[in-house]
């Protein structure tokens, strides 16, 4: 099978810990071939969705801390997405309008016969923070609004809350507002752009000190280990990008319950890979753009997450 990765520029990837690179390695180990394209390489010509795609191969025994872990095997060429055995969308956020346009192109490509994972409409219709509202019984009290008085009332009701933008990633823009916080007004005014931008507020979950767990669901099945991203001392964000420390651990019964609930709710929607963020007993986000933590879980547990993904991709692509 020839697999196209729509991805960020390869020289910018930290290949030694990048989940997309781990996926590529697992696919190559199973005899598949690879091409790559950037988001900007997607286009429509006379109704057909194509990509300016470059065939690549992985360099055996390459040092993944360096930039020579792959090489081109042929010049880039314009190829219809439906010609690939599978298209894997792994472009990282930000989820801006260019990303939205890409999801439309991917959706159109699927209508033409392309097999895209995660699917264009699936990504677009599952905003990663808002998607939890479909499973409110598994979330902490949550408010989504741009109305500052309403946000203040939520804060007063719960006393200790987290507020965050809907389009952030890696822990950016996340604030904890405790009771009588002197910066309450300034933070809410800044995050909402004085009431012009919708944000999310959630009751603070004290179990964050034990980690913000990444629970992966691949092909409807939970990966048996999570990665608990434990915050630095005095920090409220466990994200690895914010300095959190990743510790792999077996899924708890509650983790399994949450993962199975999400898998059941999203079945049939074109989401091959989902990454839940779980704090304590609650889901805080449902990530569908480019969920990570494959390498950390594999290195610490020996469970090959990327190989599980490759198997699932083979089954889904037929």
Q: Which residues are catalytic?
A: 129, 164, 214, 229, 237, 277, 285, 287
Bridge partner list, 318: none
Helix, strand or coil for residue 69? coil
**Cα–Cα dist 159/153, whole Å:** 10
Cβ atoms within 10 Å, residue 46 = 5
Q: How many helices (H) and strands (E) does the chain have?
A: 8, 18
DSSP 167-223: T--TTTT-EEE-TT-TTHHHHHHHHTTTTTS-EEEEE--GGGGG-EEEEEEETTEE-
Closest by CA to 170, choosing from 252, 262, 95, 251, is 95
Q: Are 171 and 241 in contact (CB under 8 A)?
A: yes
What burial class does residue 315 get, using C-beta atoms within 10 Å of its C-beta: 0-12 exposed, 13-18 middle, 19+ buried? exposed
Give, for 228, the enclosing helix (H) or strand (E): strand 225-230
């Amino acid at each position: 099978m020839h697999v196209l990765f729509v991805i960020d520029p390869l020289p910018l990837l930290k290949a030694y810990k990048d989940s997309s690179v781990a996926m590529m390695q697992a696919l190559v180990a199973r005899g598949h071939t690879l091409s790559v394209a950037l988001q900007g390489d997607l286009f429509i010509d006379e109704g057909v969705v194509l990509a300016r795609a470059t065939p690549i191969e992985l360099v055996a025994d390459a040092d993944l801390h360096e930039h020579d872990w792959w090489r081109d095997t042929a010049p880039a060429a314009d190829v219809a997405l439906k010609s690939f055995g599978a298209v894997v969308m792994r472009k990282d956020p930000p989820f801006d309008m260019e990303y939205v346009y890409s999801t439309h192109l991917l959706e159109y490509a699927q209508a033409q016969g392309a097999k895209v994972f995660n699917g264009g409409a699936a990504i677009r219709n599952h905003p990663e923070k808002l998607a939890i509202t479909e499973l409110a019984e598994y979330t902490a009290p949550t408010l989504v609004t741009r109305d500052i008085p309403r946000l203040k009332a939520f804060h007063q009701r719960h006393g200790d809350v987290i507020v965050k933008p809907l389009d952030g990633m890696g822990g950016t823009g996340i604030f904890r507002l405790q009771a009588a916080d002197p910066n309450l007004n300034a933070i809410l005014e800044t995050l909402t752009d004085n009431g012009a931008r919708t944000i999310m507020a959630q009751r603070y979950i004290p179990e964050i000190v034990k980690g913000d767990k990444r629970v992966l669901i691949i092909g409807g099945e939970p990966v048996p280990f999570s990665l608990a991203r434990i915050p630095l001392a005095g920090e409220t964000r466990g994200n690895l990008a914010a300095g959190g420390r990743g510790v792999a651990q077996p899924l708890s019964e509650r983790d399994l319950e949450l993962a199975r609930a999400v898998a059941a709710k999203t079945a049939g929607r074109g989401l091959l890979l989902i990454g839940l963020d779980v704090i304590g007993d609650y889901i805080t986000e449902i990530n569908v753009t480019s969920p990570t933590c494959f390498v950390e879980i594999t290195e610490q547990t020996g469970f090959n997450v990327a190989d599980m993904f490759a198997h699932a991709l083979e089954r889904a692509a037929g």
